[in-house]
Amino acid sequence: MAGAVKCRIGIVGAGNVAARHAQVLGGFADVRIAGVADTDGPRAERLAAAHGAPVYDGHKAMLEDAALDAVYVCVPPFAHGPIELDVLDAGLALFVEKPLALDEETALTVAGAARRRGVVTAVGHHWRYLDVVAEARRLLGDRPVRLALGVWLDKVPPVPWWTRRDGSGGQVIEQAVHVLDLARLLVGEVAEVCAHESGHPPDREEGAVGAATGALLRFRGGAGGILGATCLLGWKHRAGLEVYAEGIALELSENRLVADTGEGRREVADPGDAKRRVDRAFVDAVMGRADDVRAPYEEALRTHRLACAVARAATSGAPVTVEEGP
C-alpha cells in the first residue's frame, strides 16, 4: 500500500475505547492515525506515541493543525456536543462512541448539524455487526416479535465519571443502550415506556446514578418489552436480549445466539469480529468504497431518544411517550 491514499483519522478522547479503536484502525493498511487529542495530556501522549501520531491538548488544536478526513469522538457522555459541532463545522466525517450525549437536546443539535453538512457519520453500536444478529433476523423471517426481554447486569465500570448522573447519564443511557438498539432492530420502534429506579451504587453520594432500573416498553407494532439493568454486581453477569415470536425463542448476547424452534436448542457462537467491522465499515464509507454504516448518527439518535425516555420515566415515575422520528 506504499504511496496509496490513506484515510487520515483524528481521535478525541484517549481512554479505553479510544485505545480499542486505535488498535483496530492501526491494523488497517489504508488508515493513518493523524492526531490524538485529550484534555488529559499524559493520556493523549501515551495513545499518540503508541501509534506514531501527533498529540494535541484539545480537539480544536487538532482540527486546526492536522489534515484529517474523519474524527472519532471517544469522550465520556458529559463531554459530547461541542466536539461534534466543531468536527462537523470543519466538514469532516464523524464517528461517535455511544451514548451520543447525556441528554436528548445535545444529540438533536448534533444530528441537525450533521444533516445540514451531509457528511458520513457512524456511531459505535457495533452489535449491529454481530453475525448472531444477522442469524437471528434470518431465523425470525417475517414473524413479528411479540415479547422482548433485555438485560444489562453488570458492575460499576472503573471510570471516574460513570457513577455521577451528570457524568454518564445513568446505566440505561450509558450501557443498556446497546440492548435497546438491538430491540429497535429486531422488534421495531417503541411508543411508550414506564420505569422504576432503585437506590444508588454502594458508597455513592446523592446525585449518583441508579443502582437498578426496571422498565416496561410498549412497541408501536404491539409487542411488549421488559428491560432490567443493574450495576450492583462485582462482575459482568449478563447483557443481552431475548425475543419471542410465534414458534421461536431467541437469546442474543454479544458472544452467542441460542435459538429454539421446538426441535431442540441450537447454539451459535459469534466470531467476535464486530468491533473490527464497525470501524472497517466507517472507513470504507469515508473513502467512498462502500455503504455499510449500520448506525449513522440519525439512526443512533432514535435509540438514544428511547434510552433517554426510559431514564426520564425511571426518575419521574410517570409514563413517557417516545417521540416518533428525529
Ligand X SMILES: NC(=O)c1ccc[n+]([C@@H]2O[C@H](COP(=O)([O-])OP(=O)(O)OC[C@H]3O[C@@H](n4cnc5c(N)ncnc54)[C@H](O)[C@@H]3O)[C@@H](O)[C@H]2O)c1
CA angle 32, 35, 39 (to 5 degrees): 150
Task: Compute the distance between CA of residue 78 and CA of residue 249 in angstroms, rounded to an integer.
Answer: 38
Closer residue to ligand X in complex, CB, 223/307: 307
The residues with which 242 forms a beta bridge, in sequence order, are 149, 251
Nearest residue (CB) to ligand X, 101 versus 186: 101
Which residue number has the CB closest to ligand X?
A: 15
Exactly one of 14, 48, 132, 151 binds ligand X (CB under 6 A); which one? 14
Assess 109 for contact with ligand X (CB under 6 A). no
Binding-site member from 35, 76, 150, 240 for ligand X (CB under 6 A): 76
Set of cell numbers at residue 113: 448539524
By CB under 6 A, residue 98 contacts ligand X: yes
Report if residue 38 touches ligand X, rule: CB under 6 A: yes
Q: Is residue 103 near ligand X by the rule CB under 6 A?
A: no
Query: Using the rule CB under 6 A, which residue among 11, 17, 66, 300 binds ligand X?
Result: 17
Cα separation values, 312 from 184, 308, 321, Å = 19, 6, 10
Smallest gap from Cβ 60 to ligand X, in A, equals 9
Measured between alpha carbons, how far is 212 from 36 in angstroms, rounded to an integer?
36
Regarding 39 and contact with ligand X (CB under 6 A), the answer is yes
Give the closest residue to 291 by CA, choosing from 282, 299, 300.
282
Cβ-based burial of 318 (10 A; exposed 0-12, middle 13-18, buried ≥19): exposed
Q: Which residues lie across from 128 on neighbouring strands? A: none
Does 43 bind ligand X (CB under 6 A)? Our answer is yes
The window from 71-79, 181-189, 200-208, 259-267 that contacts ligand X (CB under 6 A) reads: 71-79
Residue 269: strand pairing partners: 256
Q: Binding to ligand X by residue 40, rule CB under 6 A?
A: yes
Show contacts with ligand X in window 156-195 (CB under 6 A).
159, 174
Q: How many CA atoms lie within 13 A of 221 on its CB side?
A: 16
Q: Which of 6, 15, 147, 218 binds ligand X (CB under 6 A)?
A: 15
The nearest distance, CB 238 to ligand X, in angstroms, is 16
Pick the closer one to ligand X by CB: 233 or 261: 233
Peptide linkage before 99 cis (omega within 30 of 0) = yes
Q: Check if the beta carbon of residue 172 is closer than 8 Å to that of residue 212.
A: no
Q: What's the grid cell of residue 77?
A: 457522555
Binding region for ligand X (CB under 6 A) = 12-18, 37-40, 43, 59, 74-77, 79, 97-99, 124, 126, 159, 174
